[in-house]
């Protein structure tokens, strides 16, 4: 866990530091998008560091599209004679 945290700090801290220099000049829309990406980065980083089993994009897609996809596959399934 400590190695993952160090790797994350080495990667993200310089990125956030150098982006912060130009961040003050950006408009509200750019700040909102940047904040969204930082929130996603924190969410995925916490999953990576602490090895949590939290919902990912695959889980959301399976929840929304899984049942209709299974019904389509069952409908199109052909049994050989």
> Is 81 within the bounds of a domain?
no
Nearest to 37 by CA among 62, 19, 60: 19
Domain range spanning residue 15? 2-76
Q: What is the pLDDT of residues 8-67, one digit of tens each?
A: 888 888 888 888 888 888 899 988 998 899 888 888 888 888 888 877 778 888 889 999
Residue 60 lies in a domain: yes
The confidence score (pLDDT) of residue 44 equals 83
Cβ neighbours, 10 Å, residue 72: 11
Dist CA 77 CA 79 (whole Å):
7
What is the structure's pLDDT at 16?
82
- What are the structure tokens assigned to 10, written together? 């080495």
When divided into structural domains, the chain yields a total of 1
Does 69 fall in a domain? yes
């Amino acid at each position: 866990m400590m190695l993952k945290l160090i790797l994350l700090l080495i990667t993200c801290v310089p990125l956030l530091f150098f982006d912060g220099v130009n961040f003050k000049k950006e408009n509200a829309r750019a700040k909102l998008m940047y904040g969204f990406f930082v929130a996603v980065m924190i969410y995925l980083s916490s999953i990576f560091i602490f090895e949590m089993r939290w919902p990912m994009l695959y889980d959301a897609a399976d929840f929304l599209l899984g049942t209709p996809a299974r019904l389509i596959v069952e409908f199109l399934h052909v049994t050989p004679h």
